Amino acid sequence: MTDNVTPAAAAGASSKEGGHIALMKVLGPVHVWALGVGIVLVGEYMGWNFSVGKGGAFGALIACWVIGLLYTCVAMIDSEVTSTVAAAGGQYTQAKHIMGPLMAFNVGLYLVMAYTMLEAADALVVGDLLVVVAAQFGHMDLDPKPFVVLTIATLALLNYRGVFMTLSINFVLTAAAFAAIVILFFNVSPWNPGEILKHSELLTDLPYGWIGVIASLQFGMWYYLGIEGTCQAAEECRSAGRSIPLGTMTGMITLLIAASLTWFMATGLLPWEYLGQAAVPLYDTARMVGSPTLQVLLFIGTMFAAIASANGCINDASRAWFSMGRDRYMPAWFGAVHPRYKTPFRAIIFLVPIAISFAFTGLLDQVITFSILSGVLGYTFMPINMMKFRKQWPLDSIHRAYIHPFHPLPAIALFILCVAVYFATFLGYGVSLMSILAFYIVASIWFATHRYKFVKRGDQFTMNWPRPVGY
């Protein structure tokens, strides 16, 4: 993986825009929705319920809405900046143009690690679910690892062959998983309280007080973690100015609905003590209804959600890694586009064994925590980035396809909520938090002392903007 090759040589017969290695523009708003919601919806099927164990049912509901506000701020900020900086890499590309090289490197690494860890967790969930099903048919003691490898390898091949097909399939999987939640909702007779749902009997006060509510914020992120991945599709959208805001904001609305329905059904059928440690809470909710058809439907929805999430994660992680290679933040060998499929094929292949390795550890909670904290680190940069973006390029200085309202309130709210999530994570995973911070500090030192000399600063600025105010 030499750094002496030129970007053009690394790309082979890749598509170009003005000499800049570029990906094909084939996506619309529906694909952006499928990417964002597809990554996240698995969090409605599992993971969110650990917030119930920390803060009780009402604590989980507060976490759902508070973290929903956090991600609404993320979606609005991303929609404005990404529809203006329409290039692969998402927040990495934003940081590159606005914040500088060191911040861009860190943000790019946050993205790659967050999505790769989430991909590993999704594949591990798929493997475990298939082992459970096999056990019900008498095939005991199956190893989930072959299913993990098969899942990641198959989805990587799908991503290798083209983004349009990848996200079209993701739309089908995600829509089916969302439909399963809606169908379950109508089968629990929400219009007849007490007939099936037993909120009056199961809901209790906050079992651990407000400190439990704060602790629940960490797992409340599972309702929405990954919606910011829509930014990675910007370069491949036919009209980023339309597709990114529309796909991201409708995706956020979809997730708010799904999160609220999920909490409402699960807390009305399962005791909070059980719900707080359940592995597959929505499937368990369907079991409580007593309908075999609903059980099968929710099992399929769980599988579809996990597969769609892993599929989207491969897409997003590879785009971030490809963008870093294209700009020489990583070896230029990774900044290549397949001559036929127009995908970042080397980045896709390179990240496959990394995801498999983390999945093979079997440490689902640690892998998930790594993904969450990497995501939160990226969110923490966004308020600073947004403030600087508006200051250096005021509204009337460059064209913006979308302008988020109430600036700077969303940026301030996002920063405060990120601090709250750090504190919540420290309460339960303090050692993991310190270890992950140490990892990124060491990576920053490596970039500053070794990698930065390969970066050609003039080549990485692709936006035709005027000089920033005060330059």
Task: Kindly indicate the confidence band of residue 314, based on its pLDDT and cuts at 50, 70 and 90.
Answer: very high
Do the domain assignments include residue 15? no
pLDDT at 236 over 90: yes
pLDDT at 8 over 80: no
pLDDT at 105 over 90: yes
Strands 16-17 and 20-21: antiparallel
Q: 């999987």: which residue's tokens?
A: 173
Q: Tell me: the pLDDT tens digits for 359-403?
A: 998 787 788 888 989 999 999 999 999 999 999 999 989 988 899
In angstroms, how far is the first alpha carbon of the chain from the final one?
36
Q: What percent of the chain has pLDDT over 70?
A: 95
Domain hosting 339: range is 25-454
What the block records as the tokens of 421 is: 């999530």
Q: Would you state the pLDDT for residue 409?
A: 94
Q: Would you state the pLDDT for residue 446?
A: 97
Burial class of residue 138 in the structure, from the number of CB atoms within 10 Å of its CB (0-12 exposed, 13-18 middle, 19+ buried): exposed
CA–CA dist 283, 133 (Å, integer): 13
Do the domain assignments include residue 468? no
What 3-state DSSP class applies to 406?
coil
CA–CA dist 328, 20 (Å, integer): 13
CATH (domain of 327)? 1.20.1740.10
Q: Tell me: the pLDDT tens digits for 50-71?
A: 999 999 999 999 999 999 999 9
Do the domain assignments include residue 235? yes
Find residue 21's DSSP bridge partners. Answer: 16
Task: Give residue 142's identity as a one-letter amino acid code.
Answer: L
Do the domain assignments include residue 19? no
Do the domain assignments include residue 464? no
CA–CA dist 70, 387 (Å, integer): 16
Average confidence score pLDDT of the chain: 91
What the block records as the tokens of 446 is: 């490596």
Higher pLDDT residue, 14 or 265?
265
CB 25 within 8 A of CB 236: yes
pLDDT at 7 over 80: no
Lowest mean pLDDT of 140-144, 256-260, 281-285, name the range: 140-144
Q: Would you state the pLDDT for residue 20?
A: 59
Strand ranges, E, within 46-130: none
CA–CA dist 215, 463 (Å, integer): 41
Higher pLDDT residue, 428 or 102?
102
Task: Kindly indicate the confidence band of residue 14, based on its pLDDT and cuts at 50, 70 and 90.
Answer: very low
How large is the average pLDDT for residues 345-351?
A: 97
Task: Kindly indicate the confidence band of residue 18, based on its pLDDT and cuts at 50, 70 and 90.
Answer: very low
Higher pLDDT residue, 276 or 4?
276
Q: Would you state the pLDDT for residue 16?
A: 52
pLDDT at 140 over 60: yes
Q: How many CA atoms lie within 13 A of 136 on its CB side?
A: 6
Do the domain assignments include residue 191? yes
CA–CA dist 104, 91 (Å, integer): 8
- 362 φ, ψ (degrees, to nearest 5): 75, 0
Q: How many domains does the chain have?
A: 1
CA–CA dist 248, 74 (Å, integer): 10
Q: What percent of the chain has pLDDT over 90?
A: 75
Find residue 20's DSSP bridge partners. Answer: 17
Q: Would you state the pLDDT for residue 3?
A: 56
The vertex-38 CA angle with 302 and 382, nearest 5°, equals: 130
Residue 153, Cα to own-chain centre: how many angstroms? 20
CB 171 within 8 A of CB 34: yes
Q: Tell which residue, 5, 100, 8, has the closest CA to residue 457.
A: 100
What the block records as the tokens of 334 is: 């990774």
Find residue 17's DSSP bridge partners. Answer: 20
Q: 């059928």: which residue's tokens?
A: 269
Do the domain assignments include residue 326? yes
Burial class of residue 431 in the structure, from the number of CB atoms within 10 Å of its CB (0-12 exposed, 13-18 middle, 19+ buried): exposed
Do the domain assignments include residue 325? yes
How large is the average pLDDT for residues 314-336?
A: 95
